[in-house]
Amino acid sequence: MSLSNFRTFLRSLSVHGSQRRRSVALRTGENLEPRLLLTVSPQEQLFLELINRARAEPAAEAARFGINLNEGLPANTISNTARQPLAINDSLQTAIQGHLQDMIDHDFFSHTGTGSTTSSQRMQSAGYTGYLIVGENIAYKATSATPNVTQFVIDQHRALFVDAGISGRGHRLNILEEDFRETGSGVRTGVFNGLNAVFTGNDFGARPGNAFLTGVVYTDTITPDSFYTVGEQLGGVTVAVTGTGGSFNTTSNAAGGYRIALPAGSYSVTFSGPGLTQPVTKSFSIGSQNVKVDAIARLDVDSGPAIAFAATTTTTNESAGTVTVTVNLSRAAATAVTVGYATSSGTAKSGSDFTSASGRLTFNPGQTSASIVIPITDDTAMEPVEQFTVSLSAPVGGVLGSQTTTTVSIADNDLPQIRFERNSLSVSERTTTAKFKLLMSTAYTQPVTVSYTVQSGSATAGSDFIAASGTVTIAPRRTSQYLMFKVINDRSDEDNETVNIQLTGAVNATLAETSATYTILDDDPGPSAKFDFRLPTGAATTRLTVDEGAGTVQVPILLSAPSSRPVVLNVESSSRSTATHGLDFSLPPGVVTFAPGEVRKIVTMNLTDDDIDEKNETIQLAITAVSGSSSTISRGASGMLTIADNDPPPSVSFTTAAASANESTANPGLIIVRLSAASTQKVSVRFTVNRTGTTASTSDFVLRSGTLTFLPGETQKTIPLVIRNDSIHEDPEQISISLSSPRYAVLGGLLSHLFTINDDDPA
């Protein structure tokens, strides 16, 4: 692309001299310009509007272009005083248009034209004579591409005003020359030096005579900024002026511009015709300088309410049969408002996906909303979401608002369905990547996506799993894909916990299921448990002796580690215990429960303080798991408690010191040994037949020294004396017996017994 794409070439010429000082006497009303319909293009009208904007506010125009008004000039050369607007002159228009075309046709760029004509000569030749002052600006911009003529005009106006690099800033001086009152505004395009060029120029002038009423008629709807934009022009509008100087009228040209020469005075101007739904009247006064009065339909005419779609998009399902699109008015109107509408195919096609519709929508007086109903085709084809548009046009009684097009999206009801292969999974926490398989009811030709979130159920995000969200994509012609997330394998004994998975926002599919549950099965063993008996020294032991008179004994249980869930266990006495549950001791009923985090519990055991002499008895304790509990110990320990008996042993003694029987009584049973109290032990005592004190001989009785044994619970025993009955008459004979060597008893007060055998034989 040539560098000339980026340059705007400029030339300026001002002709001053005795003509400026020439005075021409005119009577009011004489020599008025013919009110002609000038040939001016929209771009040429824009060029004029840009110049008149600069003349109205010179400093603002300079600021708009980032320069000081007197940049490149001595201070105060140009004042910020508003200049009179320029009016199009047909002779100047002819002159500048001809010169621009001449330069394009003959590939030159100069104020000197073909045949060495000067700008003033061309103006005079075109009929602009008797002037006081004339001037000329010309510029061009070229490109190897297709030029945007409107943008090039805007660019060249800026270049002429800024006048960068031009000594004396003659273009800016011409644009802001206070004495100029008329201009020709030219824009021509063509091939120049092998490039596509846009030439712009102004022939400026001033002649004696009446000032001009000038302006432009436009809609201001393409760019609503109160400034003329190409495409907003309203041509053929009648411009009627009445006032102190008479009545005058003209018609706006095709570009919307107009001018009328008027004597000084006060006037009103009325604009009426195409593009104006009602006449626009404005008042003004004119003296020796031009006055600019514009008619702006958007601002000056009540064009009625704005008509627009209620929404930018509308979504429907193809099974709905119809779709309703709502159109709103910005306000109610006193008269009927109508607007045209029409559908246009997009990815949804008229005839196969919807029935095309067009016509006019009517809003009755006071009505602010109306609907367009469009038939939708319910086909059997599996297809993605498809769209078509509805557009508004040609309003009557109102204007088009900002939303003149809406898009209708048709969701296919033949889309495949997405579901979980299994909507509930239970997997060990050792499996750190959780997988849910998503299945489609059938393959689809387009990618299918579905959004998901992984969130807490009873499991905690960050410690049990990693919370996640995202999108699963199932490729075309595939029917499954995995949804995956991370599980954290901790070392904490805890309950099985759940994670919830939610599906939303399926694209090119529908959701048969939206949720699933993943259960993390805890694989960490419960803590072990042991008895925490302590000796008086504080040392740990598994065996402990307590007095049966203690009443209770504290049985401490210690867990090897805290658990995240309740730990439930049993404390039991085994069958190997010598103490009897219910008689010698009792354990509290029920289970022992450790709350989460607890590691030590005390079980209180009751001891029975009986009056029975007995051996020290043992309680074999065991810690066991509770069947069916959610969390129990991994293993339990055993321990032994010894109940030390605090009851004295029974005493053993004869019940009587002496007894007798006839020798005919073979088994007298009168020598009785008694315990002072029953014992749970096997008590024994030795009895001895003493030589001393015994006068009977073994021929008289049968009894040898021996041991009496009291079984547990027995309190009385009889020494087994047998008397022999002889036929000899003899004196009474005695047997002396004593007790000794008791076991599990002590000797009582009566330890000797003298038994007398009475003879019953006649002398």
Among all chains, which residue has been given the structure tokens 């041509």?
235
Closest-CA residue to 256 (of 439, 43, 110): 43
More confident residue, 290 or 730: 290
Q: Please say if the pLDDT value at position 5 is more than 50.
A: no
The CATH homologous superfamily of the domain defined by 529-644: CalX-beta domain (2.60.40.2030)
Q: Quote the tokens at residue 320.
A: 């709905």
Radius of gyration of the CA atoms of the chain, in A: 62
Q: Please say if the pLDDT value at position 502 is more than 50.
A: yes
Mean pLDDT of 549-564: 87
CA 420 from chain centre, in angstroms, equals 24
Which of the residue ranges 86-95, 290-299, 617-626 would you say has the lowest mean pLDDT?
A: 617-626
Q: Is 568 helix (H, G, I), strand (E, B) or coil?
A: strand
Q: Give the CATH fold of the 429-520 domain.
A: Immunoglobulin-like (2.60.40)
More confident residue, 35 or 707: 707
Which residue intervals of the chain bear CATH 2.60.40.2030? Answer: 306-411, 429-520, 529-644, 651-758
Chain segment 154-207, per-residue pLDDT in tens: 999 999 999 999 999 999 999 999 999 999 999 999 999 999 999 999 999 999
Mean pLDDT of 550-554: 89
More confident residue, 530 or 284: 284
Mean pLDDT of the chain: 89
Supply the CATH classification number for the domain 306-411.
2.60.40.2030
More confident residue, 580 or 89: 89
Percent of the chain with pLDDT over 90: 64
Which of the residue ranges 82-86, 323-327, 676-680 would you say has the lowest mean pLDDT?
A: 676-680
- At residue 664, the pLDDT reads 84
Q: How is residue 76 annotated by DSSP?
A: T
Mean pLDDT of 370-389: 90
Which residue intervals of the chain bear CATH 3.40.33.10? Answer: 1-209
Which of the residue ranges 82-86, 482-486, 623-627, 667-671 would you say has the lowest mean pLDDT?
A: 623-627
Q: Quote the tokens at residue 757.
A: 């055998």
Q: Please say if the pLDDT value at position 627 is more than 80.
A: no
Mean pLDDT of 637-653: 87
- At residue 9, the pLDDT reads 55
Percent of the chain with pLDDT over 70: 94
- Contact call for residues 323 and 316 (beta carbons, < 8 A): yes
CB atoms within 10 A of CB 506: 20
- At residue 630, the pLDDT reads 60
Among all chains, which residue has been given the structure tokens 């100047």?
92
Which of the residue ranges 28-42, 145-159, 338-352, 633-647 would you say has the lowest mean pLDDT?
A: 28-42
Pick the CATH number of 210-301 from 1.10.3720.10, 3.40.1110.10, 3.20.20.70, 2.60.40.10: 2.60.40.10
DSSP per-residue codes, 4-44? GGG-EEEEEEEE-SHHHH------TTTTPPP-------HHH
- Contact call for residues 649 and 619 (beta carbons, < 8 A): no
More confident residue, 259 or 23: 259
Q: Quote the tokens at residue 596.
A: 């989460």
Q: Quote the tokens at residue 513.
A: 């299921």
Beta pairing class for 417-420 and 510-511 = parallel
Q: Is 120 helix (H, G, I), strand (E, B) or coil?
A: helix
Q: Please state, in angstroms and rounded to a whole number, the distance separating the CA atoms of residues 245 and 28.
A: 9
Evaluate if pTM is beyond 0.75. Answer: no
Which residue intervals of the chain bear CATH 2.60.40.10? Answer: 210-301
Q: Please say if the pLDDT value at position 603 is more than 80.
A: yes
Chain segment 433-479, per-residue pLDDT in tens: 999 999 998 888 889 999 999 999 988 999 889 999 999 999 999 99
Residue 281 CA: distances (Å) to CA of 36, 87, 262:
22, 20, 17
Mean pLDDT of 561-569: 84
Q: Please say if the pLDDT value at position 56 is more than 50.
A: yes
Q: Please state, in angstroms and rounded to a whole number, the distance separating the CA atoms of residues 644 and 587.
A: 18
Mean pLDDT of 642-665: 89
- Contact call for residues 239 and 252 (beta carbons, < 8 A): yes
- Contact call for residues 745 and 650 (beta carbons, < 8 A): yes
Q: Tell me: domain 651-758, CATH 3.30.70.1230, correct?
A: no
Residue 394 CA: distances (Å) to CA of 48, 295, 296:
30, 21, 19
What is the rounded (10 degree) CA torsion for 348, 353, 356, 361? -80
Task: Give the pLDDT band (50/70/90) at residue 35.
Answer: very low
- At residue 631, the pLDDT reads 61
- Contact call for residues 371 and 323 (beta carbons, < 8 A): no
Q: Tell me: domain 1-209, CATH 3.40.33.10, correct?
A: yes
- At residue 560, the pLDDT reads 84
Residues 6+ apart with CB under 8 A from 574: 620, 621, 622, 638
